[in-house]
Amino acid sequence: MERFCKYCNEIFNPRRKNHIYCCSSCKTLASYKRNQYKYVSGHYQKNEIVPSEKINDSLIEQKNITASIPKVANDKNRVNFNSVANSVIGNLAADSLSYGLKKAFAPNSIPATKEDILALQKDINQLKLLLKVRTH
Ligand SMILES: [Zn+2]
């Protein structure tokens, strides 16, 4: 009994009843197609997870960390200077503090680049400057 190969549509004579491909290469290629393999320079390769999904995962992770330390954000309310610099100091303190806590509790979740550290140093220096202005 002849039938059509499920992959290449050639007529073939199956040796067994459950054969649906004309040859082993059609069977292999069909399986590649089914599993979303890609033909990459001479061989088939299984599609990797899209990198952007991994990036999204780590972003969600960071958001969770931020959400899990809401007390840090509230700490800025304790800075009760009667000055225009209040909110500035508060924000700087909260930012620096939350950064520091994140770094302490989940150092791997934050890629501390040179820019990050420089920005943090700038924040701290500004904070020092503002505190100096306040206390002298
Ligand atoms: Zn075939």
Give the distance (Å) from ligand 1 centre to CA of residue 3. Answer: 10
- What is the pTM (predicted TM-score) of this model? 0.32
d(CA 105, ligand 1 centre) in Å: 57
pLDDT higher for 116 or 2? 2
Question: Between these two residues, 130 and 41, which has the higher pLDDT value?
Answer: 130
Calculate what percentage of the chain has a pLDDT beyond 70.
Answer: 49
61 band by pLDDT with thresholds 50, 70 and 90: low
- Which residues have CB atoms below 5 A from the ion given as ligand 1? 5, 7-8, 10, 22, 26
Mean pLDDT across the chain: 72
pLDDT tens digits, one per residue of 1-19: 789 999 999 999 988 888 9
What is the pLDDT averaged over residues 75-80? Answer: 50
Dihedral angle over CA of 115, 119, 124, 130, nearest 10: 160
The pLDDT value given to residue 125:
87
Q: Write phi, then psi, for 125 (nearest 5 degrees).
A: -60, -40
